[in-house]
Amino acid sequence: MESETVGIEKLEVNGDSSPEDVVTPWTVESTNDTGIDYDKLIKKFGSSKIDQELLDRFEKITGKPCHHFLRRGIFFSHRDMHTVLNLYEQGKPFYLYTGRGPSSDAMHVGHMIPFVFCKWLQDVFNVPLVIQLTDDEKSIWKNIKIEDAIKLSYENAKDIIACGFDLNKTFIFSNLEHVGSNPAFYQNMIRIQKSVTFNQIKGIFGFGDSDPVGKIAFPPTQAVPAFSSTFPFIFGDAKLPCLIPCGIDQDPYFRMSRDVAPKMGFPKPALLHSSFFPALQGSQTKMSASDINSAIFLTDTPKQIKNKINKHAFSGGQTTVEEHRKLGGNCDIDISYQWLRFFLEDDDKLSEIRKNYTSGALLTGELKQELIKILQEVVGSHQERRKTITDDLVKEFMKPRDLGFVLKK
């Protein structure tokens, strides 16, 4: 069986002598104003492009229109999504898995993307979802105290729950709290650790000899939720397929998981890959929680949102009004337009904005106002929902329990 695992390497953009994109689970950088070359990334990682055939089949089988994240290519790549659609068509069960690495007490709007999409997938397919909070990873990588990392998990869980997840279908867990109390989780970690060599881990993730041993040991921890026997209280001993929506930068973890799956007697997890949510300063890198001016946080006030967009959002417009009216703007590099692709659901209005900005009829300041209005609504609505999320409700979501999907023998 041919391995899908490839190492973390820089991706050439325009030939052997040109600058390179860098895409790893920890670093995303491009020298191109339009950002990462996703077609080249698909080729490098060996995934499949989400094409019109897949979108048409999705709508035919589910009877639901595709989410605008799919229609617009925000989720652009997949592994075995046709297999998932086959399962759904045949009435066979599967589940969803995604995660979050809690490195700050406030999530930003880019962090919402996989959860908004998972909520939609969960509703469309009516399947259980497990959400892993990798506070152990952040404790190691960011040198955060374990106690503080757990607190961040609980704060981030409130933002995640505020996306609208159903308590009866969703299990959220902190690695630092859950792994030690769930023998099946730890046992599957050991099974994966036995199946992957030190050289393979170094090759996949680029670890060096001076890295803490915790980094080298971590990848199996992120892999095990992709195997249903990790959660016997939800799935019993059934070996169910798993669908993982995630950023393309997380793919190395799951290429490893897909290589290990046959050795463990499990189906390979399927994946849906999203593009990166760009920083305010431009598409060369993704938004970061460590740079407050690169992001709009879910705790930002309407005034802060307005000021950040007006001051920091990279413009694709011209230097003067006269030049802009004559030459128009470049939506492919303009951050306000790129963010509208994520948050403006109306396809016709987005198309009209693109047309008017490209022709010069719409000025950069006017385009920013469109984004400011929408983000103030999105963040304000989220803040209102989050106020209703109590500590007790978080504990309910994080309690190991039967979600009503245990298969009867």
Q: What token pair was written down for 163?
A: 């996306």
What's the predicted TM-score (pTM) here? 0.92
8-state DSSP, 279: E
pLDDT given at position 19 = 60
Q: Which of 334, 321, 341, 342 is nearest to 368 (CA)?
A: 334
**Segments of the chain scoring below 70 in pLDDT:** 1-19, 283-291, 406-409
Identity of residue 117: F
Structure tokens at 56: 């048409």
The helix, strand and coil proportions of the chain, stated in percent and rounded to the nearest 5, come to 50, 10, 35
Of the candidates 393, 266, 326, 276, the one whose C-alpha atom is nearest the C-alpha of residue 32 is 276
Both structure tokens of 341: 């692709």
| Alpha-carbon distances, residue 109 vs 3, 163, 205, 246, 378 (angstroms) | 35, 11, 27, 15, 9
* Helix/strand/coil for 283: strand
CA atoms of 323 and 112, how far apart (whole Å): 36
Bridge partners of residue 78, in order along the sequence? 48, 272
User: What are residue 46's phi and psi, to 5 degrees?
Assistant: 80, 25
| pLDDT of res. 4 | 61
Dihedral of the CA atoms 139, 214, 270, 256 (nearest 10)? 160
Q: Using DSSP bridges, classify how beta strands 48-49 and 75-79 pair: parallel, antiparallel or unpaired.
A: antiparallel
Dihedral of alpha carbons 290, 286, 171, 266, sign: negative
Token pair in block for residue 250? 């997380």
* Residue appearing with tokens 């470049």: 330
Indicate the length of the chain as a whole number: 409
∠ CA(67), CA(27), CA(277), 5° rounding? 25
Structure tokens at 315: 């413009």
Q: Which residues contact 90 (CB under 8 A, 6 or more apart)?
A: none
Report yes or no: 18 and 40 within 8 Å, Cβ to Cβ.
Answer: no
pLDDT of residue 9: 43
Looking only at Cα atoms, what is the longest distance across the chain?
A: 73
Q: In what order do the strands lie in the sheet with 28-29?
A: 11-12, 20-23, 28-29, 282-286, 278-279
Q: What is the CA radius of gyration of the chain?
A: 21
Handedness of CA 111, 112, 115, 120 (dihedral sign): negative
* Residues facing residue 20 across a β-bridge: 12
Please answer whether residues 358 and 323 qualify as being in contact, where contact means their C-beta atoms are separated by less than 8 angstroms.
no
Query: What pLDDT score was predicted for residue 406?
Result: 59
pLDDT at position 404? 85
Query: What tokens were used for 351?
Result: 């198309």
Q: What is the pLDDT of residues 115-141, one digit of tens each?
A: 999 999 999 999 999 999 999 999 999
